[in-house]
A and B are shown apart, each in its own frame.
Chain A
Amino acid sequence: MKKTIKLMAGVGAISVMMASAAFADHTVKVGVIAPFSGPFAIWGKQFKEAVEVYVAQNGETAGGHTVEFIYKDSGGPNPSGTKSLAQELIIGEKVDYLGGLVFTPNALSVASLIDEAQIPTVIFNAATSSIVLQSEYFVRTSFSLWQVSVPMAEWAWEQGIKTVVISVTDYGPGNDAQVAFTTAFEALGGEVLDAIGMPLSTTDFAPFMQRIKDQSPDAVFAFLPAGPPTFAFVKSYNENGMKDAGITFLGTGETDETTLEALGDAAIGLTTAYHYSAAHVSDLNQAFTSKLDEMFPGSVANLASVGAYDGAHILYQMIAAVGSDRTKAVDVVRGYEWESPRGPVSLDPDTRHITQNVYIRRVAKDENGNLINEEFQTIEAVPDLGLL
Chain B
Amino acid sequence: MAVLSGILIDGLSYGMILFMVSVGLSVTMGLMRVINLAHGGFALLGGATAHWLTTNTDLGYYFSVILAVLATMIFAIAMEKIFYRKIYKFTELQQVLATIGITFLMIASVNFLLGSTILPIRSPEFFSSSVDLGFRTLPVHRIVVIIAGMAIALGLYILLDKTRFGIQLRAAVDNRNMASSLGINTARVYALSFALGAGLAAFGGILGAELLPIDAYYPLRYMVLFLVVVAVGGLGSIAGSFFAAIGLGIIDTAARYIVPEYGTIFFFIAMILVLLLRPQGLLGKK
> Which of A's residues lie within 8 Å of B, judged by CB?
37-39, 41-42, 45, 170, 196-204, 206-208, 210-211, 214, 227-228, 231-232, 235, 238-241, 258-259, 261-264, 266
Contacts and interface: CB of A to CB of B under 8 A. Distances in A.
Contacts of A264: 120, 122, 128
B119 to A, nearest CB: 8
B284 to A, nearest CB: 25
Interface stretch (B77-85, B158-166, B213-221): B213-221
B205 to A, nearest CB: 13
Contacts, number: 109
A45 B116 contact: yes
B263 A204 contact: no
B257 A203 contact: no
Contacts of B249: 204
Q: Interface residue tally of chain B, by bracket?
A: 35 or more
Contact of A41 (B10, B116, B256, B264): B116
Contacts of A202: 256, 263
B139 interface: yes
Choose among B14, B213, B253, B264 the residue with the greatest number of A CB atoms under 10 Å from its CB.
B213
Given A45-B116, A231-B118, A238-B128, A207 B141 contact: no
A240 B120 contact: no
Main SS of chain A's interface residues?
helix
A199 B118 contact: no
Interface in B74-94: none
Interface of B: 2, 6-7, 10, 13-14, 17, 111, 115-120, 122, 128-130, 136-137, 139, 141-142, 210-213, 215-217, 220-222, 225, 249, 252-253, 256-257, 260-261, 263-264
Q: Which 8 A-B residue pairs are closest in the complex by CB-CB distance?
A: A199-B263, A239-B139, A262-B120, A207-B256, A41-B116, A39-B217, A262-B118, A204-B14
A261 B249 CA distance: 29
Contact of A210 (B6, B115, B264): B6
Contacts of A235: 128, 210-211
A39 B263 CA distance: 22
A262 B212 contact: no
A210 B7 CA distance: 10
20 contacts: A37-B111, A39-B215, A42-B116, A197-B260, A204-B10, A204-B211, A204-B256, A206-B13, A207-B6, A207-B7, A207-B10, A207-B260, A210-B6, A227-B215, A228-B221, A239-B141, A240-B130, A240-B137, A258-B118, A259-B117
